[in-house]
Amino acid sequence: MSNVYKITKGLDIRMVGKAETVVTKAPLAVAYAIKPADFQGLVPKLLVKVGDKVKAGTAVMFDKYNHNIVFASPVSGEVTAINRGERRLLLEVVITPDAEQQYESFEVGDLLSITREQVVEKLLVSGCWPFIKQRPYGIIANPNTTPKGIFISCFDSSPLAPDYDILLRGEEEHFYKGIEVLKKLTDGKVHLGVNAKYSSPVFEKCTGVEINKFQGPHPAGNVGTQISRISPINKGEIVWTIDPQHVAAIGRLAATGRYDVQKTVAAVGSEVKKPRYYKVIQGASIKNLLEGGVSSDKNVRFVSGSVLSGTKISSEGFIGFYDNMLAVIPEGDQYEFFGWALPGLDKFSFSKSFLSWLTPSKEYVLNTNYHGGERAFVMSDVYGKVFPFDIYPVYLLKAILAEDIDAMEKLGIYEVVEEDFALCEFVDPSKIEIQAIVRKGLNLMIKEMN
């Protein structure tokens, strides 16, 4: 019998533009990219140069501090650009795809019958290792460690989130095979976190894992929330996390010996004319994916990932390595004179500042406007109402700002990453960039503790 965990703190944000249950196979994109910024703490070293030919699975860069961790090209084609920023910071390795895709062939053997060390080696060589992240710190897992458990969140509770049953439609067997491979990597359990609201046949048919059900508002679907309820992370402990679509990619590697990173993403948001799902290859440019499909009369923002914690990209940008969603929402560049004095029937409000709270099921068109400037912390319990961890969020944030390592440890820095504070940032009356503060704290811990 599954355990059921009830999350009482949080907030469901109802937005216009959820994806219809229509899956469209997208044509090959004009270009694909690997972006080092998708990987926290990575110092990349290039293995290719402009003009090189690559196959899907060819290593294009590696981690300077762990040469075994390589990052593979998602497609076959030609390296057409290596984009750099200030101080020659590597931003993107851009690959123009071939019309017909070719794959590197990896001799993975039977991943289910070889030793753990051999499995780790096969995942490293094939480029699949970056799928696995670790907590503390939310960085790529260290292959020289063994986690106390592997956690997979099988639903997303954030605004406009995709349905994971649709993301994995037709990939069930690869997912189950990927799970069998992951079991070899831990001495503990593989945990699946599913939504208690409905039965998910894809995940609940999975065997040999611990299935836990979660009910409640967002962030019930965050893997960090689930870890905090099932097995909180203490100092010295490590857990690994992985997205279900990356589990399926590991299953495809085990079945075919190929680095095959096709995935399904949801194109959502109030400014998308027909929100729906698209089958793409990881790292695809959105240039031709949404061409003509976005409202042209507004200034809009493209977000790869959740609207609460995703990354702003351009209209020709690339979908992030770990992202299953592409959102298009209005930019908040309109000044509203005396907006605070209006009834606000069309405004979403957490604090019931507007009369819109009288229509609890209404969906809203939300933009990126902060509605105010940054100011000092307001000492209220506003964070505590949406933050389900057994942590005092304001005290932890102040410890990070003070760079007090001991206090950060005592206040639970090992359990959290940026996305766990996304709702705090959304409801924050002080307009503080909380997620950036959390990342600063995590980077400081990496520097001081390693």
Q: State whether the Cα torsion 402-39-145-419 is positive or negative.
A: positive
pLDDT of the residue at 343? 53
The whole-number average pLDDT for the span 125-138 is: 97
Q: Percentage of the chain with pLDDT > 70?
A: 94
Is pLDDT above 80 for 361? Answer: no
Q: At 266, give phi and psi (nearest 5°).
A: -100, 125
Pick the CATH number of 4-27+108-256 from 3.40.50, 1.10.1060, 2.20.25, 1.10.600: 3.40.50
What's the CA gap between 241 and 438, in Å, rounded? 19
End-to-end CA distance of the chain, in Å?
40
What is the value of pTM for the model shown?
A: 0.94
Q: For the chain, what are the domain ranges?
A: 4-27+108-256, 382-449
- Distance set, CA 211 to CA 150, 191, 322 (Å): 12, 6, 23
Give pLDDT tens digits for 240-281: 999 999 999 999 999 999 999 999 999 999 999 999 999 999
What's the CA gap between 13 and 17, in Å, rounded? 12
- Distant-in-sequence, close-in-space partners of 267: CB < 8 Å, separation ≥ 6: 19, 275, 276, 277, 278, 289, 290, 293, 326, 328
Is pLDDT above 80 for 354? Answer: no
Strand, coil or helix: 430: coil
